[in-house]
Amino acid sequence: MSDLIRKNMALFPMSIVMNLTNLTARQIRYYEQHELVCPSRSEGNKRLFSFNDVTRLLQIKDLIEKGVNIAGVKQVLLPVSKAQTARNEPLLADNDKVTAKAPTDLQIHKMLKARLVGETGRRGEVSLIQGDLARFFRK
């Protein structure tokens, strides 16, 4: 079984994702409304999250904690369509090997992501990012 399928497979319910991400159910549902994650549904209309969903939620959480609002998060994490997670199709936002289409937007996306999600989290750089980039995310 491919890794991609594994990562997009609908597996866990709300409770599990809550513990995994330390986000409230309210927040998780809210982010879903904003198309930041797209868990599939069970017959009983219960949300079923994939590994990718959890990963994205963790990234969202990270950005929110850094002071980025929904509008900003949407620009860092490309909105995902229902079909992508419901099925086992690749998520554009989760890989680097997506160089075929819209290279310009992708590059811009990666730049913003790199600046906002600095892996080494250098202090002092945060305020600068929030200050200079904030206006692009407002509203």
Partner DNA sequence: ATTCTAACA
Partner DNA sequence: TGTTAGGA
Binding site for DNA (CB under 7 A): 13-16, 24-27, 29-30, 44-47, 64
Question: Between residues 24 and 95, which has the closer beta carbon with respect to DNA?
Answer: 24
Q: Give least dist CB 81 to DNA, A.
A: 17
Question: Between residues 25 and 134, which has the closer beta carbon with respect to DNA?
Answer: 25
Q: Give least dist CB 43 to DNA, A.
A: 9
Question: Between residues 13 and 79, which has the closer beta carbon with respect to DNA?
Answer: 13
Rounded Cα–Cα distance for residues 68 and 42 (Å)? 32
Which amino acid, residue 34?
A: H
φ, ψ (nearest 5 deg) of residue 47:
-70, 140
- Measured over the CA atoms of residue 104, residue 2, residue 37 and residue 61, the dihedral's sign is negative
DSSP sequence for 37-97: ---EE-TTS-EEB-HHHHHHHHHHHHHHHTT--HHHHHHHS----HHHHHTTPPPGGG-S-
Rounded Cα–Cα distance for residues 88 and 121 (Å)? 33
Q: Give least dist CB 8 to DNA, A.
A: 18
Question: Between residues 27 and 130, which has the closer beta carbon with respect to DNA?
Answer: 27
Question: Between residues 26 and 138, which has the closer beta carbon with respect to DNA?
Answer: 26
Q: Give least dist CB 96 to DNA, A.
A: 28
Q: Give least dist CB 129 to DNA, A.
A: 18
Place of tokens 């890794």: 3
